[in-house]
Structure 1
């Protein structure tokens, strides 16, 4: 074979291989059950559970006047990879203090994702349980973590497993298998992460601080036991969980950009302003980060991983009730 032709042939095969590896393009940061059902073999499906045992249990349905309704979540999308949410956050020592529920280091997070079977060269659809806004926040936390470690080919499933089952789509109850993934984490991209110093600098500056907790936590009526002081960071605006998602038939979903804009006007939140989100431990803050960064397309949005747990451990100022 002519060497020139042989070289072109080899280059063509390489191009074909790379095109095949990324053949499917995610339509956005949120995909529908219908879209996923048509592309199941082309993506990693990462099922995030707070109760991993439900992954292999049959769902329970009730029927009333011919209408079938999901009563108890169980089962999973065929081919889904099980991710125990409890393993996605670890205690880390920062300035001599142990802070719980933090992002794992690069090698630990990579090992976790490989261990469940996440493959390189495929987009990843992250699937929440879907029955509550907190479920969506767990999936958003995994999305943020993967993005910090270099992955931009990500989406969340609208309505999660709950919505999938309610639509009568096929499900499986096979136990999760040990994975052999090759997904690779890059060095952390700090443009998505805020430190205590970043937050302190943002107070009174040009960066919007967004408290993602329910209103009673924001105003200081209550607090988590591990958080040192009730209240919020000075200058923070509140984007509570109940205004970030809505329920349709028992499955939670995100709102449209126009709906968020309307809500933001009431909350004095600027969708395009550089922002830092926080909560108690970085869980709820992930949902607010996802709304601002991914749905509203604000690239200058960071998440304060340590949140109020770290802020109050450092004895930084908090605004609360007298």
Structure 2
């Protein structure tokens, strides 16, 4: 499976469920934003996984084991050693290929975007795992098509892994500060237009990083079918920002480094591979008073 696509269909996966080198991962996290603003309520998707998952799938704890729980910010990239130990313990390594899915679990929203799956896929590629894809439409599409679920939890033998970290895939706060004055770097804010302009909160630290452009992560797929739009439509959304220029670097960010990985994945799909994700995103940027923020007064 050396020609692993970035995104696979439910039909593609269903035809390969019995392949011994396949590893399927449920990366669901439930996140709900309280009315009136404030930090989100974050809940592991493990209990939902235990109630039913795609046959052969294991559960990956993005909110816990696969984040640095000692960091000041949620969902911070963990140490390389800790991440690889957890992945290889799930049976993922040099001789396997991985398909990741989630439940599109932003509670109360109907956005069609597998951003938890794309977050784990991004973390894996950052650490050098090449053969990884996400499932188009996630568990919702799988269920809508009447496909089976399982409650069995497979136990795969630990795997070996020798890949190398790709530091160019992760952007720091200092990288973003430099990018604000660099015409060869495109900053993409992946949040909604309302969040981008700072209209959802009276907090003066809401808004966006100066010089960044807004491409909402939720506009790339059909909310009913959960299928991605054709490449021409995806390309049109990004072309206006200059993000598809092969001579430029792109940095995507959002609130906490999750949705940004969905935009980064689609940029990769469209041929732009010089893309980094600002892991701290607005959680880190807004907490530093020295970092400038643009907030629009027009509503």
Partner Cα separation in structure 1 for residue 148 and residue 227 of structure 2: 20
Q: Which residue in 2 is equivalent to 1:21?
A: none
Please show how residues 110-259 of structure 1 align to structure 2 within 5 Å: 110-130=84-104, 133=111, 136-174=114-152, 176-177=153-154, 179-184=156-161, 186-205=163-182, 206-223=184-201, 229-249=205-225, 252-259=226-233
CA 1:321 to 1:254, structure 2 compared with 1: closer, same or farther past 3 Å?
A: same
Instruction: Please tell me whether residue 278 in structure 1 is matched to residue 256 in structure 2.
Output: no
CA 1:241 to 1:34, structure 2 compared with 1: closer, same or farther past 3 Å?
A: same
Q: Which residue in 1 is equivalent to 2:56?
A: 79
**Greater gyration radius:** 1
Secondary structure of the equivalent of 2:96? Answer: coil
RMSD over equivalenced CA pairs, Å: 2.4
Alpha-carbon shift at residue 134 of structure 1 (Å):
6.9
Q: Which residue in 2 is equivalent to 1:35?
A: 12
The question of whether the paired residues in 2 share the 8 Å contact of 1:224 and 1:280 is answered with: no
Partner Cα separation in structure 1 for residue 81 and residue 48 of structure 2: 28
TM-score by length of 2: 0.82
Alpha-carbon shift at residue 91 of structure 1 (Å):
4.1
CA 1:223 to 1:304, structure 2 compared with 1: closer, same or farther past 3 Å?
A: farther
User: How many residues are matched?
Assistant: 271
Match of 1:288 among 263, 266, 271: 263
Q: Which residue in 1 is equivalent to 2:285?
A: 311
Structure with greater helix share of residues: 1
Which 5+ residue runs of structure 2 have no aligned equivalent? 30-44
User: Following superposition, which runs of at least 4 residues in structure 1 exceed 6 angstroms of deviation?
Assistant: none
Which 5+ residue runs of structure 1 have no aligned equivalent? 1-23, 58-74
CA 1:27 to 1:111, structure 2 compared with 1: closer, same or farther past 3 Å?
A: closer
